[in-house]
Structure 1
């Protein structure tokens, strides 16, 4: 374990039966750090959290806390507390009894349990609610009770399994800020599972994105959002618009050649390992700019310009959202004003918000678009070369 790592996972693999869910996870978490495990359903994030907690036994690898190997220890011997998605409160117990339940199992004295429960109620804004049953509480209050029960035992690590998913949108915004403020105040190490990108962005010091049981990328929210390491991460972090372009690296730039729906341009390489050939370009709806098709002003250097037609227009709030047909692709672009359906437009994407990745390999006989926009097989292209 390095000095910076308080919780360390060493090549952890796990699964259910013959199905492997986690595949060699390597992850270190510093003491007092808040880490969000982010990913789509089935990516392995909840299994990873449960492996850390001790409810899933890894088939390989190790889990250490402060240098102590806890891989085979039961959950109650790991110094951790888990807040479940469903809260898992005892319906027949009061708020005070639920919060003090873990202390009772540890055989703490009644006076100590009462003191600690009182601290948690005050800390979490539950004063005066100690005698209520869970059914008499709002969703946000139940979530606070579940959090208080976890914190009452003074865990070294707090594990959160999508604890906000059952709250309505307005309450969820408030409670996530409360949890983050509480975590920073207590200095506790936290691992939070979520599928909500914005939730991970506002709560975590570091985001770990999982895909098919492996870590696709990890870093600060700013780094993962602005410098995605793959097309998958870019799409997951909101850059869902995708177009395919042709180009080649030349010195410190990537030269994008003109195509049926795009103008030629050159963007800084900035260390990206792009190869000659097709690239997958991704960008966010709010990052692009929309202009009339008749616009003749100069395009800023490094800006990709696409030509297309507006197919639909909607108003989700704040900006108008346009679905624009660009060649064979459909992209979404936000603008301060609405363009007419059917209107010819130009979509411009500055280089700093344009994410380029080498296009996935295609089998030799698979059809692919030629630079003129037609379809031909790669074997045919090779024979013509």
Structure 2
């Protein structure tokens, strides 16, 4: 990224009364980039989007577009358009009237509005629906109308506040790819708020993960998925299995000590800032592999746990097992996938490859 991006936030903070919602946000977004703001409810992602749009004012910091400070400008003077989660369509207006609403407010001649609306309907596959009102449209069609209204004013920056969350799962997958293809085709800069990890992964050029009002990590989907910077990011990106281990750093190797459920092993540090001592180990269920005994585990870098299958289910495409490690009060449970079902009560070995094992000092 260039030091100065097309859209730049520096030292941005936001308060609601005594509550600090955003803290020291520094973010640079390039022209034509698709950025996803990802995080759980209450992390500050929607507040950040509304602050960029101009509906909220920062308590400190600057917001610049093309190096011009826009923090003092109202929303309609920033060259941005916001698509709301609820779509916020006028129920008494037709599709054509909703799409052309922003153009009408700008005082554009009626003939030009009609031409622009027609082009937008064709672009979004809404041809023939111009006379319908929102109540007569499907969820996917209403989403396209809201998008058309935003794009009709030719914004430099498109802001999306979880616009797919009201769609059913099948339509959401289709609209996801349509929206991404449209953004690339138009070359528009897009900032998309979502709590859906997969949605961010398949749509964004870059993911910005927020935690308690701060940026926990930013990077490409591959970077944040495979190289999480913290235990929080690892958990949010699906590495929900968590165990406490002890180890010693020796150069670029981290030697994991034997424990109640694992043999001693060593894994590459892999650029992580690890020091000797107690570590939190995280990994994804799909990264783990089950074997009937330790002898059948492949000779590959990683760690092997020994446990007993407590439960098994079939979510589709694989079998998911709850495996109990250890006994008594010190036992813990992990999730691990396999191509076949292991019976409850069966003793198993669980192998986690080194590159799928995320270690963080506690």
Category of TM-score, reference length = shorter chain: over 0.9
How far residue 195 of structure 1 moved from its aligned partner, in angstroms, is 0.1
C-alpha contact 1:266 1:301 (8 A) present in aligned 2: no
8 Å CA contact 1:242–1:329 kept in 2: the answer is no
Q: Give the match for residue 225 of structure 1.
A: 225
Q: Which residue of 2 aligns with 1:234?
A: 234
1:203-214 alignment, distance < 5 Å: 203-214=203-214
- Secondary structure, counterpart of 1:135 in structure 2: helix
Equivalent position SS for 1:261: coil
Which secondary structure does the structure 2 equivalent of 1:26 belong to? strand
Residues 1-385 of structure 1: pairs in structure 2 closer than 5 A: 2=2, 5-292=5-292, 294-297=293-296, 299-327=298-326, 328-359=331-362
Q: String of CA shifts for 1:228-257, please: whole Å, max 9, x gaps.
A: 000100000000001111101012200001
User: Any idea what SS the aligned residue of 2:295 has?
Assistant: coil
Aligned-residue offset at 1:298: 6.0
CA drift at 1:300: 2.3
Q: Distance in 2 between matches of 1:43 and 1:88?
A: 23
Does the CA contact (< 8 Å) of 1:248 and 1:274 recur in 2?
Answer: no
In the alignment, structure 2 segments of 5+ residues that lack a partner are none
Root-mean-square deviation (CA), in Å? 1.1
Residues 13-49 of structure 1: per-residue CA shift (max 9 Å, x gap): 0021111100010000000000000000000000000
Shift of 1:72: 1.4
**Bigger Cα displacement from structure 2, 182-191 vs 262-271:** 262-271
Given that residues 253 and 266 in structure 1 are in contact (C-alpha distance below 8 angstroms), is that contact kept between their aligned partners in structure 2?
Answer: yes
Contact in 2 for aligned 1:289/1:335 (Cα 8 Å) = yes
Whole-angstrom CA distance in 2 between matches of 1:302 and 1:247: 16
Taking structure 2 as the reference length, the TM-score comes to 0.97
Check conservation: 2:291, 2:297, Cα contact below 8 A. no
C-alpha distance in 1 between matches for 2:277 and 2:237:
25
Shift of 1:301: 4.2
- Name the TM-score, length of structure 1 as normaliser: 0.91
What is the CA distance between 1:297 and its match in structure 2? 3.9
Unpaired runs of at least 5, structure 1: 360-385
Q: Which whole-Å CA distance do the structure 2 matches of 1:144 and 1:126 have between them?
A: 8
Query: Would you say how many aligned residue pairs link Structure 1 and Structure 2?
Result: 358
Q: How far is 1:295 from its partner?
A: 3.6
